[in-house]
Amino acid sequence: MIASWSPPPYLKNIDHTTAGTLKKNSAGKYMYDEFADWWVDSVKDLSARGITVDYLSIQNECDIETGYASCKFMPSEDANWAGYNLALEAVYRKLNSEFGEKVPKLLAPETMGFGNSRRYIDAIIDQNHVYAWTHHLYSDGAGGYDHPEAYVAALRKYAQKYAGRPFFQTEYSRNQDFNDAVFTARHIHNCLVHENLASYSYWSLFRKGSGGLITLSNPVGSEGFTINPTYYAFKQFSAFVDDNWQRIDAQTNSSALRISAFINPQNDKISIVIINISPDTDISLSLSHTAFDVSAGKIYRTSKTENCRLVGDFEKGKPLIVTKNSIMTISIKGALLKGE
């Protein structure tokens, strides 16, 4: 999956990658065709370097103008800003003409938040040209990052309105301390369960300073690296849910627990992720899994003192203790019962 922060300066109205929008040609028309040609050349260049582009987003955070590499588009063009809908259509046509059956799948519109993506999606000329709806989470939710449940109602409405294509959350992050690690797990849970998300990406795997799951030394290489708590919170999902797994129904009657479950294509492995959001109460939980015969299982936990640590075997019929302010993953093997 690739995305552009900015097209090159010769395609920008300010002749610079920072801020601005697409340039207009001598006839006063935005340079959509030239923008599409640049994308074709970019895909070819990456292919020549051994990189296959499966998914392509034409512009990261197209809805904002920033002080770093960026390019703002409006949903539809006006006198001052190029139109995302026309740019997307131009890129779609050029890519299909050039690559045929091997054309990258287009992702759109990758806005700062899912709320702001609505007006961009609604303006798209042919929604059949888009494989998945993509967004970040920075501009959504009353109270922001520290209030994950503030996103839920809007996520449900968004998922209902734009159902029919996969949803990708392609960037979100903040700090790397343990509190934010739990918030990250809660955001992942909410997007997977309430938006029916297909892919959740964190910004970023590693970087200097703040924002990465892994913090690199500065200068790079001087003192190694630091694996942050958020890495392990993310791992409670990513290490146990692989390609083509499907989310299955999972429910709890505890207001302090968040539970989600996933099954592999062979129907012989299930991963259950449980988050205890209570800051001071351990919770005893009895799992009921009537449609799946468990043969073996392992329990992994991230807490203030544990980093996705193997804490024991899963035993059928034995209550689980979900410790306060923790993330637990139960990885089990077995088989679906006949008729399920």
Task: Give the percent of the chain with pLDDT over 90.
Answer: 88
Task: Give the percent of the chain with pLDDT over 70.
Answer: 98
Instruction: State pLDDT tens for residues 304-332.
Output: 999 999 999 999 889 999 999 999 999 99
Greatest Cα pair distance in the chain? 74
Instruction: State pLDDT tens for residues 159-168.
Output: 999 999 999 9
Cα 111–Cα 277–Cα 203 angle in degrees, nearest 5: 30
The pLDDT score that the predictor gives to residue 218 is: 72
- Radius of gyration from C-alpha coordinates of the chain: 22
Confidence of residue 288 (pLDDT cuts 50, 70, 90): confident
Question: What's the token pair of residue 138?
Answer: 């920075």
Question: What's the token pair of residue 168?
Answer: 């990708």
CA atoms within 13 A on the CB side of 315: 8
Question: Which long-range contacts (C-beta less than 8 Å, at least 24 apart) are formed by 227-230?
Answer: 227/307, 228/176, 228/177, 228/181, 229/176, 229/177, 229/178, 229/180, 229/181, 229/302, 229/307, 230/173, 230/175, 230/176, 230/180, 230/181, 230/184, 230/202
Q: CATH topology of 2-244 equal to that of 257-336?
A: no
The answer to whether domain 257-336 has CATH 2.60.40.1180 is yes
Architecture of domain 2-244: Alpha-Beta Barrel (3.20)
Q: Residue type for 218, please?
A: N
Segment 70-91 mean pLDDT: 98
Residue 238 has pLDDT above 90, yes or no: yes
Residue 220 has pLDDT above 90, yes or no: no
Burial grade of 78 (CB within 10 A; 0-12, 13-18, 19 or more): exposed
For the chain, the domains span 2-244, 257-336
Report how far apart the first and last C-alpha atoms of the chain are (Å, whole number).
Answer: 35
